[in-house]
A and B are shown apart, each in its own frame.
Chain A
């Protein structure tokens, strides 16, 4: 079922992305809805970070990336630079793995 899977997964991913933009067309969202969407950004970012950093195959887990991301936070607060922050994350995570 190789091609059926590819076609069905691709179609579903495309549909989920384009559904709202096509249904809403160029209309502005009602202010109340927009406020709710804006209010959801910080919690969703928090959840994305937590899932990526602390959940592995459905179970709580922690590894060297957590220290790397901590270093990125320090660098970002200090320099306000995405590039330096991401380099710090990669360097610290890689360094800790080398030590381990």
Chain B
């Protein structure tokens, strides 16, 4: 049985707290837009609680707003979230042995909770669960607030909260780089993602970079 201590869950929650507000306001923005395209209040909240995927949910709204088909929505979501197959494989050995619990724990996988969980030499289930739960509360709570109260919430970019998530990823990257080869790999991957993005559907640049990183020869 894999052990997960309350302390590690608390550590994960504490590390995720700085961007709880950003998750909340992103969720609120989703709630406002989703209500605006006719999904009502219960629909967006249910979608955020179950899908828990900002990029995929915003992409779905974009396609829905353009009167796109269900198939095109699902293709966009699959492209944006294909990386979760890799995240899931990375954390799988650390999750509960009980299949139902494994599935529930995997629901707390996000870019940030995955990145935190692999921050140390072995995958930390506690860090993933703690940080993922905080993000889930912020995202779903924000969606409810946005769908219910809409424009009352104002623009969060004015207080710079939209800089928190990329800053968080950069801190994790700085925490992880251990030499010139890592710096080169990170910079090249970033440059490739920017160069590819205009020519690929949303999310696919990340998938291509991830595939190249997985396929590159080992030293």
What's the tally of chain B residues with a CB closer than 8 Å to chain A?
Answer: 92
Are A9 and B187 in contact, with the CB atoms below 8 A?
Answer: no
Secondary structure of the A contact surface, majority rule: helix
Q: A21-B91, A52-B165 in contact; A43/B70 too (CB < 8 A)? A: no
Please, how many angstroms separate the alpha-carbon atoms of A88 and B57 in the complex? 29
Which residues of B are interface residues toward A (Cβ below 8 A)? 2, 15, 17-19, 38-40, 43, 46-47, 50-53, 56-57, 60, 64, 70, 73-74, 77-78, 81-93, 95, 97, 99, 102-103, 105-107, 109, 111, 115, 118, 157-174, 176-177, 182, 185-194, 197-198, 202, 205-206, 209-210, 212-214, 216, 218
Are A39 and B190 in contact, with the CB atoms below 8 A?
Answer: no
CB-CB under 8 A from A17, the residues of chain B are 81, 84, 87-88, 106-107, 109
Q: A12-B81, A26-B93 in contact; A45/B176 too (CB < 8 A)? A: yes
Could you jot down 16 A-B contacts, CB within 8 Å?
A6-B47, A8-B73, A12-B81, A14-B50, A16-B85, A20-B89, A28-B93, A39-B213, A39-B214, A43-B212, A45-B170, A46-B188, A60-B198, A72-B167, A86-B18, A90-B164
Q: A42-B177, A68-B160, A90-B164 in contact; A54/B89 too (CB < 8 A)? A: no
Are B213 and A90 in contact, with the CB atoms below 8 A?
Answer: no
CB-CB under 8 A from B182, the residues of chain A are 42
Min CB gap A25→B, angstroms: 8
CB-CB under 8 A from A38, the residues of chain B are 118
CB-CB under 8 A from B102, the residues of chain A are 18, 21-22, 25
Q: In the complex, which residue of chain A has the Cβ closest to the Cβ of B115?
A: A45
Are A5 and B73 in contact, with the CB atoms below 8 A?
Answer: yes
Size class of the A contact interface (CB-based, 8 Å):
35 or more
**Interface check A10, CB cutoff 8 A:** yes
Among A14, A47, A58, A69: residue with most chain B CB under 10 A = A47
Q: A16-B82, A21-B106, A50-B194 in contact; A9/B89 too (CB < 8 A)? A: no
Q: Can you list the 5 inter-chain pairs with the closest CB atoms, starting with the nearest?
A: A20-B88, A50-B190, A94-B160, A46-B186, A43-B189
Are B194 and A60 in contact, with the CB atoms below 8 A?
Answer: yes
